[in-house]
A and B are shown apart, each in its own frame.
Chain A
Amino acid sequence: MHEPTVKELPAHGVRAERIEKRLGGNDVLRGVDLIVRTGEILSILGSSGSGKSTLLRCLNLLTVPDSGDIWVHGEKLAIRSESQHGGQAEILDHRQVRRVRASMGMVFQSFNLWPHMTALENVTEGPVLVKGIRRNAAADLGRHYLAKVGLSDKAGAYPRHLSGGQQQRVAIARALAMEPRVLLFDEPTSALDPELVGEVLRVMATLADEGRTMVIVTHELAFAREVSTRAAFMHRGLIEEESPSQKFFSSPVSGRLRSFLASHR
C-alpha cells in the first residue's frame, strides 16, 4: 500500500498518523494512518468494534489518542502522548483544539441536540459563543441552515417534539452553521427508525454534491457507494483496505472486505 509521507501532506484536509488508542483494556486503534483531502468524501466502513468511530473521534480529539500525530489543515495538533510521561494522553493546547474543532462539524449517532434549546437555538449557539457572531445575525444564519435541511418550519420546536430524522437534520444544520471545512459523521443513521433514514441521507447527499469535505462512518453501504469518493475498511483497529470508491466496492482486494460487502448486501 502507498505510504504517505509528511512532505505529501496536503495544506488542507485532515491527516492522522500511527494513531493508537486503548479503551477499557482493548487495543481499539493499533497505529492507523488516514488522510482526508479537501473535497474528498471518505466513507469508513467496518463491523462494530473495528475502531471506526474511535478513529473519527480522534480527528477532532473528542477522544485523545494514546499516541500518534494529527494534522488539520496543515496544523499539527499539540497532544502529549501516553508513552512520553507514563500518564494519560492529553491535549496540550486547548485553544488550538477549540479552534480546530470549530472548523470540523460533527454529527453524532444519537443526535445530541441540547434539550433545553429550540432547534434554532441549537443551531445558533455555536456561532454566537465560539465565533462571537451577534444573536440577530446568528439567527439569520441559523434559519438559512435549517432551511437547507428542510426544517424552516421547526425553528421554534424543542428537540423532544421532533422525530429522530428531524433531530438529526437539526444536528446537521448545527454543524453546518459553524461553516466548517470538514464534516464528520459518526453513524448518523444508526439510531434512526428505518423509515427516517432516507431523509437524513438525502440531506447528506446534497452536502456531498456541494463538494464538501466529509468523513462518514456508516453502515449504509449503498449510500457510501453512491456518495463517497474514497472508502476505507477497518478491521480490529487497523485500516485493512482503502481505495477510490469505484474500486473499493466493485473489486475489493481483501478477503475480509469481500465477505463484509457480501454479508451487508
Chain B
Amino acid sequence: MDITLLLTSTVTLASGIPLTLLLTAASLLAGLVLAVPLAFMRASSRKWLSLPVLAYTYGFRGTPLLVQLFIIYYGLGQIGIIRSSVLWVLLRDPFWCCLLAFSLNSAAYTTEIFRGGIQAVATGLVEAAQAVGMSPLQIKRRIIFPIAFRSVLPSYANEVISLVKATSLASTVTLLEITGLSRKLVSETFAPYEIFIAAGVLYLGLTFLLTGFFHALEGRLNAAPRAKTPLGRVALQQVAHEQ
C-alpha cells in the first residue's frame, strides 16, 4: 500500500464531492417533494388513491436502481415522442437522467417511510385537531406530518445515507462524481487499492457527517436534553423501510 498515493488520490477524488453532494441533495429534495403527497395518498383508506402509489413504490423498490437508471438513460431514447420532444434536451444528459432516476427511486422509499409514520399517528391527535375545526389540509400540514416526520426520522436518515451511496451509480453513465473519478483514476494508474480506499474514506466521511447531522436534528426536534447516545446510532438502525 502506497500511503502517499492514498493521500494524493484522496485529494484528487475530493473534487468529486460537490457533484456527489449535488446529486444527493437535489434527488433528496425532489424525492421529498414527491413523497409527501404520495405518502398521504398511500396512507389513504381509499383504494383508488392508495393502489396506484403502491404499484409505484413496489415497482421502484423491487427492481435495482441500476436498471432504473439505464431505462431512463438508454431506454427512453427508444421512444420517438420523447426523442422529438423538448424533454430530450434533459434526458440525453446523464446528469438529469441520474437526477430523475435517483429522485424517483428515493421518492419510492421515502413514500413508504412516511406512510408508516402517517399511519402511526394516533387517531386521537387527529380528532383533537378536527374538534377545534381544522381543515383536512391544516391537519395534515400542522399535525400529522410533523408528528410522522419526527417518528420516522431515523429511517429517513438511513434513506438519505443510502442515497449518498446510491449516487455512486452515476459513474456508470459517465458522471465524474467520487466513484466516477476514482474509476477514471484507476484506469490511468492501475492502483485500485489506494484509489478505491481513498474513495471509500470520502464516502465514509460523508455518511458520518450526515449521521451526525441527523442525530443532532433528532435531538433538536425532540426538543429535550436527551441522554447521550454514541454517534452513529442512526446509521446503526436497520433499514426498516426496505420492506
Contacts and interface: CB of A to CB of B under 8 A. Distances in A.
A130 B131 contact: no
A130 B150 contact: no
A114 interface: yes
B224 A161 contact: yes
B149 to A, nearest CB: 9
Interface in B100-156: 122, 124-125, 127-135, 138, 142-143, 146-147, 150
B223 interface: yes
Given A108-B124, A112-B127, A158-B223, A130 B147 contact: no
Interface hub of A94, A104, A114, A174 (most chain B Cβ within 10 A): A114
A108 B128 contact: yes
B133 A178 contact: yes
Given A116-B150, A129-B138, A101 B132 contact: yes
Contact of A126 (B124, B133, B150, B221): B133
Given A112-B125, A114-B147, A101 B131 contact: yes
B133 A62 contact: no
Interface of B: 122, 124-125, 127-135, 138, 142-143, 146-147, 150, 221, 223-224
Interface string A90-125: 000010001111111110101011111000000001
Given A112-B127, A129-B134, 11 more contacts: A62-B130, A98-B134, A104-B131, A105-B131, A106-B128, A116-B221, A129-B142, A158-B224, A161-B224, A175-B131, A175-B132
Interface in A75-103: 94, 98-103
Contacts of A175: 131-132
A252 B23 CA distance: 75
A60 interface: yes
Contacts of B127: 62, 108, 112
A115 B143 CA distance: 9
8 contacts: A101-B132, A105-B131, A110-B124, A112-B124, A125-B142, A129-B138, A130-B132, A175-B132
Nearest to B149: A116
Contact of B132 (A94, A110, A113, A178): A178
Contacts of B224: 158, 161
Interface of A: 60, 62, 94, 98-106, 108, 110, 112-116, 125-126, 129-130, 158, 161, 171, 174-175, 178
A161 B125 CA distance: 17
B130 A114 contact: no
Which of B128, B143, B146 has its CB near the most chain A CB atoms (within 10 A)?
B128
B128 A98 contact: no
B223 to A, nearest CB: 6
Contacts of A125: 132, 142
B132 A174 contact: yes
A227 to B, nearest CB: 22
A175 B221 CA distance: 26
A174 B125 CA distance: 13
A74 to B, nearest CB: 18
B187 to A, nearest CB: 51
A113 B143 CA distance: 10
A158 to B, nearest CB: 6
Nearest to B133: A102
Nearest to A109: B124
B146 A116 contact: yes
A113 B131 CA distance: 12
Contacts of A171: 128
| Residue among B130, B133, B134 with the highest chain A CB neighbour number at 10 A | B133
A175 B147 CA distance: 21
Contacts of A94: 135
Going nearest first, the 9 A-B pairs with the smallest beta carbon separation are A102-B133, A126-B132, A112-B128, A106-B131, A112-B124, A101-B133, A98-B133, A130-B133, A116-B146
B130 A102 contact: no
Nearest to B145: A116
A114 B132 contact: no
Contacts of B131: 60, 62, 101, 104-106, 108, 175
A23 to B, nearest CB: 14
A99 B132 contact: no
A9 B138 CA distance: 34
A264 to B, nearest CB: 26
A174 B133 CA distance: 12
Given A110-B124, A112-B124, A114-B125, A126 B134 contact: yes
Most interface-central of A60, A98, A161 (chain B CB within 10 A): A98
